[in-house]
A = this chain, B = another copy of it.
């Protein structure tokens, strides 16, 4: 479907529902609050394995509940509204009228259908706490914080018991991962600004989640229609699809027409926080001419999106007039869409960016809805050649200043990062961000570690994402195989999400997250014991794993077979381990020490004389113990 397809043919978006393979969703109840229960997914392991089901973090929302019937026309349950209202300091009001330009002037059959229900927006009033940051500073544990403590904590008790047997601390580069996540820990991290809970009070459908380096590394999936292609139905489906495979947040980067209506359908049905780049819509409102942008149009767009329930805004307020010329000698200039819009505006008017000059006003608006800043890196490098240059770092320093201003206003902040960075420059970028932005969460796009593989940029960037996640980035924005080439379809979204889930997990492992290893070890045991179904189900993408297996060994019997296609039925390396274990069980500690000592002696003597002799000694040992 392209932009010329009449939208009057709009049908209800279809979304994918039902549990993931061998999985059941459990809501773990809070001891503290009666109406707080956070989801965890348990993956069932084959009965013969004699292992408990494996708990994993679950961002999929109710769509993966057993028997859940999605009513996309109605949207998800608005559970969190009660929490917001009971805390007070908010008012319900009529809200802004939807205007034709909100949908790019689309009319008649070209106008996407409005979401059927209109909910009156809430907004904060007065100086009492509204945002999670303000509550945290006031020492108040919100229900969102409690919810997050439960969901982040999943499996950690078991992990700690395991850890006593087998300590593997990782290298955290200064992150302070707690043994056990408490609501108080969540509150403290929020109060310090080291973590954010993107949770617009007008997006009560979303399940609270946290982004910070002392929690599980999160991932974001970008969706959104463009002026050239794709429809509302596709985007709603992609949003649910992305969360099904593990997206922790979703950004709607729609451009062109129908931005307002598309976003409404997405938000009302989204169990995860939704981010946007408001300047994209503002630009559409002025006919795509950057120099025609005004603070008034932008402000109006912010309020429109705050009322709809967008949870975080990318704001490119660090693209300042005095930095723009620093990009002139770059290989790839300014590649951020938002950054270049603002650069064009600044140059056209020879004025400082209104995002910068009006920053405090932006803070006031966002505070009233508890929308989180994602301070955009409009001057990020678009090629490895431009990484860590003066333009990038001048902007980053500015984002650090703006962070402190936002914090002053009680607004939560995360910082966006690149982009394209070769491996040897990644850590310097991370370290600089931590230093100049007061440990506000870093949220990076990749980075791509080389520019030479269009079509595979989920991988060039997955490498960088895993590394920067290890070094301290709190959320990784996915890159799909279509990056630089086209808009991702459903399959691309899945590949992007899975790639970034594995990168985030690799980062958690390397940081020494106390519970991360549980899943690797459970899967490794399944693999080693030829529990094929368990191996599929414990993985990030059971469907693909099963399909790949069946391509080579299609029969059902092969999924209980104690061999794999590499080695065939006659011989299998993994089977030999049982012999090894039996042998090792038969060795006394003294015998083991003898083996070690003998091997060391032989090493000293060198090879020349030892070979035949060792064989004799080995035999003797055998005879003695036999």
Contacts and interface: CB of A to CB of B under 8 A. Distances in A.
Interface of A: 166, 170-171, 226-229, 253, 255-256, 283, 288, 290, 320-325, 327-337, 339-341, 343-344, 346-347, 350-352, 356-360, 382-385, 394, 398, 401, 405, 420, 422-424, 449-456, 458-460, 462-463, 466-467, 470, 481-482, 484-487, 489, 498-499, 501-503, 505-507, 509-512, 517, 519-521, 523-525, 527-528, 535-536, 538-541, 544-545, 547-549, 551-553, 564-571, 573-574, 576-577, 579-581, 583-585, 587, 592, 595-596, 598-599, 603, 607-608, 611-612, 614-615, 618-619, 621-622
Contacts of A552: 228-229, 482, 485-487
A545 B619 contact: no
A524 B385 contact: yes
B573 A339 contact: yes
Interface of A is mostly: helix
A469 to B, nearest CB: 9
B510 A423 contact: yes
Nearest to A342: B576
B499 A456 contact: yes
A288 B576 CA distance: 13
Contacts of A382: 524, 527-528, 574
Given A334-B580, A481-B548, A510 B424 contact: yes
B592 A325 contact: yes
A619 B551 contact: no
Nearest to A536: B454
A166 to B, nearest CB: 8
Contacts of A484: 527, 535, 564
Instruction: State the 6 A-B residue pairs at the shortest beta-carbon distance, nearest first.
Output: A333-B577, A486-B552, A227-B568, A350-B622, A328-B584, A357-B611
B350 A486 contact: no
Contacts of A547: 455
A463 B462 contact: yes
B614 A328 contact: no
A509 B460 CA distance: 12
Contacts of A466: 423, 449, 463
